[in-house]
Structure 1
């Protein structure tokens, strides 16, 4: 057997850290860019009636902006404050006062004239409300009455006709756990959450490929990896704090690649206000962009693998990590046979990427000693989503990008606290700390002190049907 790719003749060409400035236009004049100062001032104005509480949330609370989960203004990875416009934009949801009574007692048609943004601005619902069929407005009821109505309804129905669904941003692990326990205590396994819908293909594919249903690495692994690939993910928009990680990675020499049908402006260049040179000139984020066809990701990945197998025939061990494959994987020969049957014309037409461009990406990964692959709903909200993620995992396995520093597979999440939903059991297919199987069920029943229903719960889609 030939040498592995980490020992062979192909080495990553370590260049000096790239110039990070995106433009000589100061402050991004004429560019599409975040308006940090404007948005910060707007947030202060929106929260002027509750500034002290808003300040406490920002400095003492856990961020409910995205899945990075910054605590206060800091995290465990990078020095300096972490505050993004996404977190500022949702701040008012926590500080707003109760909705005025006049809106609740008014004709329902007045509320129907408002859009979702206008409805949210009215304030928080402070107490239980009731509106029966034919009534034109809401009526306030007590908590006792509200809970009694719910309890009476639950008692009167088959528990297979009862379902729980958790969807709010910022739900904590403790709430997920309590909801999972309450649902099973009441007698139903129909419990689901918004996170499972977003990334259930990731969990299924990763569980099948790696044996774990979550990320195999952390954000620390971004900084120092040779190549960082964002697949169907616009982290600069959805997880803005992540741009500081990208900035640190680029300063360490990392190449950042974007694979997306749309050339996202925020992933090309970004302005980070807490970093002097970036705040003035902007930061160039991506080194290269592959604009695949919508639904063409698998064809693109197949093309990359096809190049690797062709390169292997010429120089064994130069394009894939044979030592890792032989020690830690199975199904290699089947995958190789499947890929070699593919023809270039179909792969190019399906992916929207030329054979030569696929080869550029194949060589980049083959020469890299480390790599982190990141994806979001561009790959998961898809008819063949699980297959998408399985092929991403295959790319990483062929290169040995698993189980080492600066390597890994990472489904990036949009809301804070979402990873805990499955781990805490707020999912029809899992229980806290394990799958919905006999061993986990016995363990949890012993902890909880009651029997768990044995039938398989439904997802929210099945529940609605």
Structure 2
């Protein structure tokens, strides 16, 4: 059988004409080295990065192999480390020279480019400036204000950067204070995963480990931009392709990382210039079309199974529940509605079904292109259905693999950062720390936004991140932050969240992971969890950017001490003096997952927390894996003429903007752009270079508009347009989110193009 012909890159549009990695990646790293001028210490840190006993990258959460490469860091990991270890400083003199009001007009990049924060600061309303303070004053006044507020009206946000040790203390502090309001960055990206996988297989995380990628013969990718968001993943992908594994990708955008890759550590590929082709085929489906595309593959499998068995009915009989209802759902779908929803033809989907039917071991990989939709949970449920049809869960070389973003975003959820009390062993906390934890559900990210909009939020403590910039509905929320009676930002660099403040705002600078953390008990190490559920130790060796910096565990502990009544069972000072004691507490609360935590801290490749699904143990109510049917054929909340998806650039990680180049898309110099297919440009009577605005089309009574966007022709499906995150977040309604998890629908925004306002 010959392969189905593939759609090729539209040559009339902008795109990157080289492979991912290669000389382009090296040039990008050296460009940032020359621009930012980091010390030789930064280069030494990169040499040890993601290696046993070394420093774990603060960028993505991809796994760290037990036998690392010579350079176990990627282009964006290098940028993150250089960004952390910059010689630039943002201290009291800077704040004395710039009012907060004026700084709000600065770009995200320009704010962070001022360098590392050096001293604790408080916001002075009269002068509209941050002014230097002392740590004792900051802790005393923050603690007093927290005692004065209603605990249920205060939120403790955590970005995905904080270590397991910090995260455990933070979650404990919140519950001792009296709430479960622990929104985190997972609420904005992969909470959909936690909910959907828990419903289908009870495990809230992926089932794969690195070993699986050496045994699979097929990988299906959905909505994951490997080249920019997890480039080290390209090493096992390339190795898999070279031994004959097939890669099939579904994504509205042609991302170079899943098209071809030249390994910068391969002398042959660098000298000869011959890249490895990755995806074959690469299918550009419509935004929100994943449910329909997967349903089409399933429909073909049922049709094929009528003549040649391709469905593992023995596995399904033993391990599946709800299969008959799922089969009826698939049979009831028509090809016209499938094609209309995903934009792929029945022939294209038949081709993929045949590839899948011939495979022996398949891994399904996905990212936020699947999770950030109104019906994102249903998309993940459909992906689980597809794997179950051929027994691709619970065996070597098969499984489901959500690729998480920030370095510890999955890990921190495992030690208590959750607004859902049922996910935390509260009885153990009560016994160990002699208190009664709150049992009511806390606020997630969307509920914090709602509390802010409804004037119910009184206080906000942020453990890293740029919450105000990352959330939807910025036009509505930005003016309301100054109403809070307390706003505490624990940070390493200045960002927009630090500028939307009023009386009671504090800026507390902390160490980065690569810096030495010396406490009373000596030099300390921390730990993080990766996307494949392995725990890794991390040890920083660089001198701190300022002698005034404190570690994140120390800051959390000292705020807690200033806030809470004394409790003989709670030894904040002793825990901060020796982080191994915090790891002992984590082991005591989570003994099944963190046994011998301190002994295994620096295991090569980390240690595995385990997953019963790998042994085909289904802890569902039925005792089997659950087949599920989606609520509709599309992940979107409705069908519209134009659907906006938000993108991150190659010079960006989450809300951190390293520069204005998007090398892997062939774009440079301007983030205020909107990408539109040439066919849609012609249909809408637009022109390349024209300045336009976008208006979102939610039916919630609020107008949302973004102006000053330049039209750029780009290879996208009809009806799909794209703009950068977080700039485009102002167009997104907080009411538009996954119905099951509350994850904002950043990848499915109904919009129309409007003439540029003058």
Superposition TM-score tier, normalisation by shorter sequence: 0.7 to 0.9
- Report the CA distance between 1:319 and its aligned residue: 1.6
Query: Is 1:295 the counterpart of 2:288 in the alignment?
Result: yes
Query: Is 1:175 the counterpart of 2:166 in the alignment?
Result: yes
1:62 to 44, 56, 60: 56
Q: What is the aligned partner in structure 1 of residue 34 from structure 2?
A: 45
Deviations 1:116-144 (A, max 9, x none): 11111211222221223342322111111
Q: Conserved in 2, the CA contact under 8 Å of 1:422 and 1:430?
A: no
- Report the CA distance between 1:396 and its aligned residue: 0.6
Q: What is the aligned partner in structure 2 of residue 244 from structure 1?
A: 235
Q: SS of the residue aligned with 1:314? A: coil
Q: SS of the residue aligned with 2:314? A: helix
Cα separation, 2, equivalents of 1:430 and 1:54: 43
Q: What does 1:55-134 correspond to in 2, within 5 Å?
A: 55-56=44-45, 58-59=47-48, 60-70=54-64, 75-76=65-66, 79-97=69-87, 98-108=89-99, 109-134=101-126
Which stretches of structure 1, 4 residues or longer, exceed 6 Å deviation after superposition? none
Structure 2, unaligned runs of 5 or more: 2-15, 49-53, 451-758
1:143 to 115, 131, 135: 135
Cα separation, 1, equivalents of 2:321 and 2:67: 35
1:214 to 200, 205, 210: 205
Q: What is the aligned partner in structure 2 of residue 159 from structure 1?
A: 151
Q: SS of the residue aligned with 1:450? A: coil
More strand by share: 2
Cα separation, 2, equivalents of 1:53 and 1:348: 51
Structure 1, unaligned runs of 5 or more: 1-12, 14-28
Q: TM-score, normalised by structure 1?
A: 0.87
Q: Conserved in 2, the CA contact under 8 Å of 1:224 and 1:252?
A: no
2:193 to 185, 190, 202: 202
Q: Conserved in 1, the CA contact under 8 Å of 2:259 and 2:279?
A: yes
1:273 to 247, 264, 269: 264
Q: Conserved in 1, the CA contact under 8 Å of 2:42 and 2:82?
A: no
Cα separation, 2, equivalents of 1:352 and 1:110: 46
Cα separation, 2, equivalents of 1:87 and 1:49: 14
Q: What does 1:444-459 correspond to in 2, within 5 Å?
A: 444-459=429-444
| Change in CA separation of 1:214 and 1:430 when aligned onto 2, cut-off 3 Å | farther
Cα separation, 1, equivalents of 2:396 and 2:85: 41
- Report the CA distance between 1:452 and its aligned residue: 0.6
More helix by share: 1
Q: What is the aligned partner in structure 1 of residue 277 from structure 2?
A: 284
- Report the CA distance between 1:57 and its aligned residue: 5.3
- Report the CA distance between 1:449 and its aligned residue: 2.9
- Report the CA distance between 1:410 and its aligned residue: 0.8
Q: SS of the residue aligned with 2:394? A: coil
Q: SS of the residue aligned with 2:39? A: helix
Deviations 1:91-129 (A, max 9, x none): 133213431433110131553443111111211222221
Q: SS of the residue aligned with 1:192? A: coil
Cα separation, 1, equivalents of 2:445 and 2:402: 22
Query: Is 1:347 the counterpart of 2:338 in the alignment?
Result: yes
Q: TM-score, normalised by structure 2?
A: 0.54
Q: Mean Cα displacement is larger for which, 367-376 or 272-281?
A: 272-281
Cα separation, 2, equivalents of 1:38 and 1:53: 17
2:326 to 335, 343, 349: 335
Q: Conserved in 2, the CA contact under 8 Å of 1:259 and 1:289?
A: yes
Length, aligned pairs only: 427
- Report the CA distance between 1:383 and its aligned residue: 0.6
Q: What is the aligned partner in structure 2 of residue 9 from structure 1?
A: none
